[in-house]
Amino acid sequence: MEVNKNTIGQVFFILSILTLIYMLINPLTQVITDISEFFTLTIINFPISDLLHILGGDTNPPLYFLFLKGLSKLTTDFAILKVFSIIPYAIILIFSTIKLRKDYGWLAAGLFAFATAIMSQFFISYTILRPYSWAMLFTLLSFVYFKDIINLADKKSFVLFTVFSILASYTHYYGLIITIVLYLILLFHMMNYNKDKIKYLAASIIAGIIFYAPWILTLIKILESMQPLGKINVESIIQSLAHFTYSGDTFFSIVSLLIFLLILALYLKENDNDKISIIYGIIAYFATIAIILLISVIIKPIFVMEGLILASAILWLVISIMISKMQNKRIFFISLALICLLLVSGIGTLIVTNDEAYQNGLKQSETLDEILEEDNSMIILNNPGLALYFLDFSNQSEMYCVNQDYVYGENMNRIHEIFDFKNIDKTDMRDLATNNTDKNIYLISWGNPNVDLNVSQISKKDGIVISKVNTTSLKTDEYYEYY
């Protein structure tokens, strides 16, 4: 039976390597696939002090952006910057081959490696200029050494858990939430089962607080000033709880949760010494999502579906270990068949979302490229919040930005020192267009431009609308509405 498990695991691992190769040559590495990538490309132009100031007005910790800024000193090639987000998956493959295979065998290693490529929104996170993949890696490694603390409680495990928890917290705020959950579970465990090692936990907590202290005041300021994020309803709750197989479909989410519960019930029948850490991992997954949902409902909406991949990676590690631990042949094949059913659905979802992201991203990128290649183009950023998404293009086109004093907490005068653009009042847009009828004028806005101009939409993705002004029919009584 063990040979069969190893063979199955090795097949999964080969598929994982092929997936990594596909990531590296995929056209997704050549185009913008997410609007927030524009934000990333813009802010890495700033000096570090300004970058930290801007992130203090955004909803992201600084670590990933500091990494990327360092890389941008060596190269500004977009494809290479994209590859930086794929590195965490390569590390996951190495980690799976060495540690997971050693601790749990090829099946756990291969299944986990493959699942963290194709399930949920993992694949997209590896192919965009955002902190998700690095945050997932650090969160995952913190959980691995959390498990080692439960099983071994040695100094090395405490040190590595502390280091990766700090890194996760500085890479994504959901990483901070997961870190807090893991510390609470450890506190419970040590108080009940291992009081003689609680001094190591206390040292870990103190170290975490000391190293995160420089960002705590910034985090408080962000929470006070941040705008509401994702909306909470019954469907989003169900889909978030089943985010480890996320497909955007509520019915499938319910089926996924039922399959997981069945596999868990079958695993609990096994006599396994890893059972406590497995249960803790499951608690960490659902508790993290519950806390995020509760904060969003009671205090302020901080819910972002994409960020749940951090917790989903933990659950897939737990699922992979559970499957590998099943000794009863019949139970093992039933569980594996159910997991393969989820994996097949994950591949189907990946194909659809991958193609959709590529096509939409390609269209948006081609539209921007065409605008920037025009000799007489003019771009107006019609919303103050768009400044740090598109100012990276200001040296390629005549650009105007709606008047404002600050952008994400950064003084506008400081931004003018770095980017070449002009300010404009919304009320002056018609005069600007009237005086430049020989130019191609484009508006970039969140949703409907809502301006007193005749415009036509030429691109829309992630809520960003690119419109062209009809300069041949500028009349004061004209107003164009579209939805």
Q: Over the stretch 39-70, which tens digit does the pLDDT of each residue have?
A: 898 889 888 988 888 888 777 899 999 999 99
Give percent of the chain above pLDDT 70: 95
Evaluate if residue 99 carries a pLDDT over 70.
yes
Q: Which residues pair with 440 in a beta bridge?
A: 377
Q: Over the stretch 300-349, which tens digit does the pLDDT of each residue have?
A: 777 888 889 999 999 999 999 999 999 888 899 999 999 999 999 989 88
More confident residue, 449 or 318: 318
Region of residue 105 (phi > 0: left; psi between -120 and 50: alpha; otherwise: beta): left
Q: Report the relative pairing of strands 455-461 and 464-469 from DSSP bridges.
A: antiparallel
The 3-state DSSP class for residue 460 equals strand
Q: Which residues pair with 427 in a beta bridge?
A: none
- HSE-up of residue 385 (Cα within 13 Å, Cβ side): 11
Contact 232, 303 (CB under 8 A): yes
Average pLDDT score over the chain: 87
Evaluate if residue 73 carries a pLDDT over 70.
yes
Token pair in block for residue 199? 């001094």
pLDDT of residue 16: 96
Residues 6 or more apart whose Cβ sits within 8 Å of residue 148: 154, 156, 157, 160, 161
Residues 6 or more apart whose Cβ sits within 8 Å of residue 452: 429, 430, 476, 478, 479
The shares of helix, strand and coil residues in the chain, as percent rounded to the nearest 5, are 70, 10, 25
Evaluate if residue 393 carries a pLDDT over 80.
yes
More confident residue, 208 or 307: 208
Longest dimension (CA), the chain: 80
The 3-state DSSP class for residue 470 equals coil
pLDDT of residue 473: 65
Evaluate if residue 105 carries a pLDDT over 90.
yes
Give percent of the chain above pLDDT 90: 46
Most confident of 43-52, 236-245, 426-435: 236-245
pLDDT of residue 229: 63
Token pair in block for residue 258? 């039922």
What's the CA gap between 185 and 101, in Å, rounded? 26
Q: How confident is the model at residue 483 (pLDDT cuts 50, 70, 90)?
A: very low
Q: How confident is the model at residue 480 (pLDDT cuts 50, 70, 90)?
A: very low
Contact 113, 16 (CB under 8 A): yes
Q: For the chain, how many helices (H) and strands (E)?
A: 20, 8
Q: How confident is the model at residue 28 (pLDDT cuts 50, 70, 90)?
A: low
Evaluate if residue 285 carries a pLDDT over 90.
yes
Residues 189-205 have a mean pLDDT of 92
Mean pLDDT check: name the lowest of 159-163, 389-393, 473-477.
473-477
Q: How confident is the model at residue 427 (pLDDT cuts 50, 70, 90)?
A: confident
Residues 343-368 have a mean pLDDT of 83
* Of 53, 44, 59, 54, residue with least CA distance to 129: 44
3-state SS, 372-439, equals HHCCCEEEEECCHHHHHHHHHHCCCCEEEEECCCEECCEEHHHHHHHCCCEEECHHHHHHHHHCCCCC
Contact 286, 241 (CB under 8 A): yes
Residues 6 or more apart whose Cβ sits within 8 Å of residue 205: 183
Q: How confident is the model at residue 479 (pLDDT cuts 50, 70, 90)?
A: very low
Q: Over the stretch 160-181, which tens digit does the pLDDT of each residue have?
A: 999 999 999 999 999 999 999 9
What's the CA gap between 367 and 359, in Å, rounded? 12
Q: How confident is the model at residue 482 (pLDDT cuts 50, 70, 90)?
A: very low
Q: How confident is the model at residue 226 (pLDDT cuts 50, 70, 90)?
A: low
Evaluate if residue 416 carries a pLDDT over 70.
yes
Evaluate if residue 138 carries a pLDDT over 70.
yes
State the Rg of the chain over Cα. 25
What's the CA gap between 163 and 142, in Å, rounded? 8
Residues 6 or more apart whose Cβ sits within 8 Å of residue 261: none
